[in-house]
A and B are shown apart, each in its own frame.
Chain A
Amino acid sequence: MEKTPLSPQGTRTSGRIGRRLRVLLTIPAAGLLLSGCTLPSFGVSKGVTKSSVQVFHLWQWFSVGAVVIGALVLALIGYAIVRYRRKDESAIPKQSQYHIPLELLYTIVPIIIVIVLFVATLIVENPEVSNPRTDVVVNVNAFQWGWKFSYPGHAVVVVGQTTQSPTMVVPANTNVHVNLTSTDVVHGFYVKEFNFSRYALPGVTNQFTFNAVKTGVYSGQCTQLCGLYHSLMFFKVKVVSPATYDQWLLDNRNVSAATAAANATALQNNPYLSSQSTQSAAN
């Protein structure tokens, strides 16, 4: 119903300010972000999509800032604790207060840091949330408690819930456009290796585009609490070569949804399925 507005160029209208900034800043920023390769990962992986790599570099630079500022502040606190420990109970220190230049310094420097962080954010965000034109479209529908992946124009549907996580098959090195909907409550479409998530909202078609550059199978899962079996709402994304993808589409054309699901997932021996869940499901 409530589609995200797309401008004629296929870009989000909300990115307009950022687009101008981007033109100005792309060249130095590209160098900045690329040089991020030699920094530590700070707990995050590069992921497997074009955007996920950029997000990873953004994460690295934010982390550098956080570590430097955090270390500085901790050092100041540590120094104060050690140096100014009370030695004489009756001693009264000089009652000094206010230091305008210092106060200006610790106001203006953070403002500059914030502006830098914001610009870096825009540089990564605008391409990530843009929706370039693409031929591969997957309609993803989330429901309690599973996922349905349909491929419009190809009569292919994959469905799976709780114990059998369905697999969404997509071609590598291609812009894949996702129309994300929900049948009932709010769900979260999250693939760790994409460094990305998006809500599936009832009554809204959320759109995003990703371009996976590495073939493989990546696990995904619902991140937004959606009721009883939220903990079991998994899916997989299988990135294959475009040729394999075309073949897979042909093989599963007009196959009933259930069979397609079986073909796609071949009912993996799911490590997440606990005896408790079977028990609760039986109740």
Chain B
Amino acid sequence: MSQNVITSPTGHDAHDEHHGPSGLLKWLTTTDHKIIGLSYTITAVVMLIIGGALAELIRAQLATSNGHLVSFAQYNELFTMHGSIMIYLFVGPFAFGALANIIVPLQIGAPDMACPRHNALRYWLYLSGSITMLLGFFTAGGAANFGWVGYAPLTSSLNAPGAGADLWIGGLLLTGFSAIFTGVNLIATIFYLRAPGMTMFRMPIFTWNLLVTAILILLAFPVLTAGLIMLYADRHFGTHVFSVAGGGVPVLWQHIFWFWGHPEVYILALPFFGMATEIIAVFSKKPVFGYKGMIFATITIAALSLGVWAHHMFTTGVVLLPFFSIMSLLIAVPTGIKIFNWIGTMWRGELWFSTAMLMSIGFLITFLIGGLTGIYLASPPLDFFTHDTYFVVAHFHSVVMALVLAAMGGLYFWGPKITGFLLNERIGKAQFWLLFIGTQVFTFPLYILGLQGMPRRMAVYPLHHDWVNLNAISSVGAVLIGISTLLFALNIVVSWKKYPAGDNPWDAQTLEWFTTSPPPHHNFYRLPQIRSERPTWDYNHPEHKSVAHASHEN
């Protein structure tokens, strides 16, 4: 045993977290990636709950054709802030701020992120940006009301004069810089702080996906930041970048926004793909089926994602349709590779249906639906008549709800590593079924509504019998999702410090499960030898090494 372990040269007690402040001051001043990551996690989940509450209001308004719950003006604020909170303040920060921050250094055997103070800065930027955006609700004109995509010139000082719009821009600038710093920090950490033996092709898939995500962040986010500064200048300094009157081009905003926005879709998705990959492998008791194929698929997705932005703009009539169509269709290929890899990993495994595994399978099925409906939208003639209808809304909600399922899987899977305590599995499974069934009940009627011609972002809609029924069913789904979220909160309360996790409760494979739960201040007292992408598994099961299919046939 001992010859497989690199023991820390110094005594480990000296390194424990007893030095430095404690309590609230510790949370405010910390540069420990685990505490910052936990702050990120809590903030992002709070945003999920706020955004979810707004979604419930939207579904309540739409449950009848002529809802009176909110006014037209309030409805525009509702869906704008629902989308903005979910995309900018929940999914993104959760993907690359929360679990990534905690898990990536642990997975590569690093003591912390490469730039710990920088790491703290990005959390505070994120928090202040989030608060800035939410403050819009308390201004005289209300929060931003031009959709989360903010198409010019609806965002001009003429069309959206309120301070809510400025707070939206300010909030996005702050969280945008937070994201850019995240990209820098993740890349530096992954390139420079890997433990001895941790070569690039021994890094876990989750870490690989975060590396690719970080590169995409650096390519995409500065473009959004620049666009936001132009927009702010248009509103306040009299520039005319996006207004026709001064010789500007409104559709330029759409180009800038989607040049960020489409890579952003993968910036959001790749970390969750990584979570699902890790979870499925662990609970199948097998290595990832095509580890290298998975990595190349991730890189291919990232590369293609930079050339597909105008598929959001097919109906503008000012983009080259065939190019963006084939690029978008091609993304189905690496995505398909991932799906087959997940299935291949489960194949001939010993599947343990823990809550985390159920959430990951739920992710897989929901993402399959979102992916298949996405293929239609890559074909311009089919996009023309589904664009801006509920079909699109249903499509991307299938995708993002799949990400929520994966996020929940990630929390059930890695939560014990962070806190040292397991969550209750029975409540967890009930939460899974409500969330999974609720998601399908919520999205399926929306697909049909879109095909029947219901445009998105309508506060009231024509009194068709079908439309009312379909909307009502969808609202029931939203309620189920809401209850599942409450169950999650209940589970935290019920399980509070009740079920000690131990170091490696799932018989998992990667380095983070080699250290204690929660890990000590600088993460590791000792490291195993790293000779594959599964060092902890190799250490615990030296007789069960991975074998390639081809090798046993020869």
Interface residues of A (CB under 8 A from B): 1-2, 4, 14-15, 17-18, 43-44, 51, 54-55, 58-59, 62, 65-66, 69-70, 73-74, 76-77, 80-81, 84-89, 91-100, 102-103, 106-107, 110-111, 113-114, 117-118, 120-122, 124-125, 128-129, 184-186, 188, 190, 192, 194-199, 201-204, 206-208, 221-232, 271-272, 274-277, 280
Contacts and interface: CB of A to CB of B under 8 A. Distances in A.
Nearest to A109: B336
B193 interface: no
A2 B244 CA distance: 11
B289 A66 contact: no
Interface stretch (B171-179, B255-263, B378-386): B378-386
Interface residues of B, number: 96
Given A186-B250, A223-B389, A230-B457, A92 B285 contact: yes
A100 B362 CA distance: 28
Contact of A93 (B147, B348, B460): B348
A197 B387 contact: yes
Given A58-B382, A203-B244, A228-B76, A118 B329 contact: yes
Nearest to B457: A225
Contact of B332 (A4, A114, A280): A114
Contacts of B293: 98, 103, 107
B332 A110 contact: yes
A203 B245 CA distance: 9
A80 B153 contact: no
16 contacts: A14-B322, A15-B322, A62-B379, A91-B350, A93-B285, A95-B287, A96-B549, A114-B329, A117-B375, A121-B325, A185-B151, A192-B452, A225-B151, A228-B72, A272-B460, A280-B73
B379 A199 contact: no
A-B complex: 7 closest residue pairs judged by Cβ atoms: A192-B453, A223-B388, A203-B244, A99-B549, A43-B451, A231-B458, A223-B455
Given A98-B549, A280-B71, A188 B388 contact: yes
Contacts of B365: 74, 77
B154 A186 contact: yes
Interface stretch (B14-22, B27-35, B93-101, B337-345): B337-345
Interface stretch (B114-122, B224-232, B311-319, B422-430): B311-319
A231 B460 contact: yes
A98 B249 contact: no
A195 B462 contact: no
Contacts of B292: 98
Given A17-B322, A117-B329, A186-B154, 8 more contacts: A96-B552, A99-B289, A106-B336, A121-B382, A186-B151, A186-B153, A223-B455, A225-B76
Given A91-B350, A122-B322, A201 B287 contact: no
B368 A276 contact: no
Interface in B365-401: 365, 368-369, 372-373, 375-376, 379-382, 384-385, 387-389
A245 to B, nearest CB: 25
B244 A84 contact: no
Interface in B55-103: 66, 68, 71-73, 75-76
A81 B349 CA distance: 10
